[in-house]
């Protein structure tokens, strides 16, 4: 397994091009199951989760064609993929693929809507929490599906097709909103989704589905009204910029000091993160295609309290990164996680670097340390891993992050992007 070695203490200066959003691209790719025509997506990030989903879609009978686009420096600045599901050859999503990536379970609604049946492995829990599927299942049942759990699989049938229904989510769920939104596009009649997630990735999906001929009202709100259509058509669509990658590199500039320009992105996608960074004493300037984040290495970071919330609140996917920043603040910070029950696995690893963090239930009290000191640490999930990279940029001496395959699931060429700004960072190939 590869590891990443960082020699910290170097300010970062330069430009980073933000990739397309993994968490938008995954549902957009799944949407190809709703039509027998071709869906082409550009600005596709080159990360492991995308490859895993391509494998899953191909075994449902989808034909996938990838086109790389190089900018001449060996950097792949966005790829395009064409996905054609002329016919669905298998409605089964096997455990071996879905266990690697929860987003694989999103095929449930679209397969059921198009084929009237689906057998999809339960994704199971993962490091950050139990992550049940009840909202997906209850919603599809309300639309007329009959679903059993058998041998670890969700076995669903709707022989007469799905019917429109009024569904109110008891918890805001990104995945359940996406799953039911896609299913509703091919259901008979009108579906209303109340208390729907409003994350920008949902808006991206609404826009692709609309380009495919779906009739959806309420884009960007928590009430989506979908008038089902008998068929959808193909479309060409550009994946939105990755707001979590944007926020992560903004925090890289903040923690290491220096000035980084982030391009091919949109500052308004991470307003809640930028508010916190500004309160912490970091400079943020919006530009036409992104933002510039800077901090004089001599000026201190202030402690700020943070609570994760559904969009437009502070994202849970940026919680580990802000905690890394707060470990070197002058002051204290209370970080509260409200979305997932177990998303503090980075705490013991940050502590190995000298961070002073006390967890009390869903909150972590972080007292700024004078200096983090490099050590060997272990990545446990995607965002926890990147928080260790960020801490390593600030730590003195050498930090080695082991098990970086988690990082490769969601960050494209992370070490290259940071090294181009002056970070002393190197990937060490494992056996």
> Which of the residues are catalytic?
126
Residues in the site for ligand EPZ, rule: CB under 6 A?
23, 26, 102-103, 129, 131-136, 171, 173-176, 316-317, 339-340, 382-383, 410
Least Å from the CB of residue 419 to ligand EPZ: 23
Residue 25 β-bridge partners: none
Least Å from the CB of residue 231 to ligand EPZ: 27
Least Å from the CB of residue 316 to ligand EPZ: 5
Least Å from the CB of residue 170 to ligand EPZ: 8
3-state class (DSSP) for residue 58: helix
Contact, 65 vs 82, CB < 8 A? yes
The backbone region for 339, taken as left when phi is positive above 0, alpha when psi lies in -120 to 50, beta otherwise, is: alpha
Q: Which residue is nearest to ligand EPZ (CB)?
A: 175
Please give the full DSSP string across 301-323, using - where no structure is assigned.
Answer: PBP--EEB-STTSB-GGGHHHHH
Nearer to ligand EPZ, 135 or 421 (CB): 135
List of residues 6+ apart from 66 with CB closer than 8 A: 44, 54, 79, 80, 81
In the block, residue with structure tokens 């933000």: 18
Q: How far apart are CA 2 and CA 114, in angstroms?
A: 41
Nearer to ligand EPZ, 125 or 151 (CB): 125
Nearer to ligand EPZ, 123 or 374 (CB): 123
Nearer to ligand EPZ, 84 or 248 (CB): 248
Measured over the CA atoms of residue 123, residue 129, residue 135 and residue 141, the dihedral's sign is positive
Least Å from the CB of residue 410 to ligand EPZ: 6
List of residues 6+ apart from 20 with CB closer than 8 A: 42, 43, 44, 45, 78, 238, 239, 240, 241, 242
Nearer to ligand EPZ, 106 or 372 (CB): 106
Please give the full DSSP string across 118-179, using - where no structure is assigned.
Answer: EEEE----BTTB----HHHHHHHHHTT-EEEEETTEEEEE-TT--B--EEE-SS--HHHHHH
């Amino acid at each position: 397994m590869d590891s990443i070695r960082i020699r910290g203490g170097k300010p970062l200066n330069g430009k980073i091009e933000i990739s397309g959003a993994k968490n938008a691209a995954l549902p957009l790719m799944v949407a190809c199951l709703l039509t027998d025509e071709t869906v082409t997506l550009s600005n596709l990030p080159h990360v492991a989760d995308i490859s895993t989903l391509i494998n899953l879609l191909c075994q449902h009978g989808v034909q996938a064609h990838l086109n790389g686009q190089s900018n001449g420096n060996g950097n792949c600045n966005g790829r395009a993929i064409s996905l054609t599901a002329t016919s669905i050859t298998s409605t089964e999503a096997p455990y071996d693929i879905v266990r690697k990536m929860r987003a694989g379970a999103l095929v449930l609604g679209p397969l059921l809507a198009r084929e009237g049946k689906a057998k999809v492995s339960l994704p199971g829990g993962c490091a950050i929490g139990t992550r049940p599927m009840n909202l997906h299942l209850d919603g599809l049942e309300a639309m007329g599906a009959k679903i059993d759990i058998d041998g670890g699989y969700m076995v669903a049938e709707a022989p007469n097709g799905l019917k429109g229904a009024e569904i109110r989510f008891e918890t805001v769920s990104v995945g359940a909103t996406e799953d039911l939104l896609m299913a509703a596009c091919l259901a008979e009649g009108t579906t209303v989704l109340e208390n729907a997630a409003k994350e920008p990735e949902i808006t991206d999906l609404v826009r692709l589905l609309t380009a495919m001929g779906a009739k959806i009202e309420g884009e960007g709100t928590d009430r989506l009204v979908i008038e089902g259509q008998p068929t959808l058509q193909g479309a060409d669509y550009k994946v939105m910029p990755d707001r979590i990658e944007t926020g992560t590199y903004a925090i890289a500039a903040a923690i290491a000091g220096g000035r980084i320009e982030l391009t091919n992105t949109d500052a308004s996608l991470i307003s809640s993160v930028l508010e916190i960074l500004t309160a912490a004493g970091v400079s943020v300037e919006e530009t036409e295609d992104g933002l510039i984040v800077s901090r004089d290495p001599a000026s201190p970071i202030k402690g700020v309290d943070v609570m994760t919330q559904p969009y437009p609140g502070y994202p849970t996917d940026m919680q580990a990164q802000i905690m890394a920043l707060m470990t070197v603040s002058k002051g204290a910070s209370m970080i509260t996680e409200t979305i997932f029950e177990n998303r503090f696995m980075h705490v013991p690893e940050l502590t190995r670097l000298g961070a002073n963090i006390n967890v009390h239930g869903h909150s972590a009290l972080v007292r700024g340390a004078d200096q983090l000191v490099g050590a060997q640490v272990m990545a446990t999930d995607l965002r926890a891993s990147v928080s260790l990279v960020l801490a390593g940029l600030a730590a003195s001496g050498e930090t080695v992050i082991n098990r970086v395959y988690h990082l490769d699931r969601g960050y494209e060429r992370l070490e290259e992007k940071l090294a181009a700004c002056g970070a002393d960072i190197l990937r060490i190939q494992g056996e």
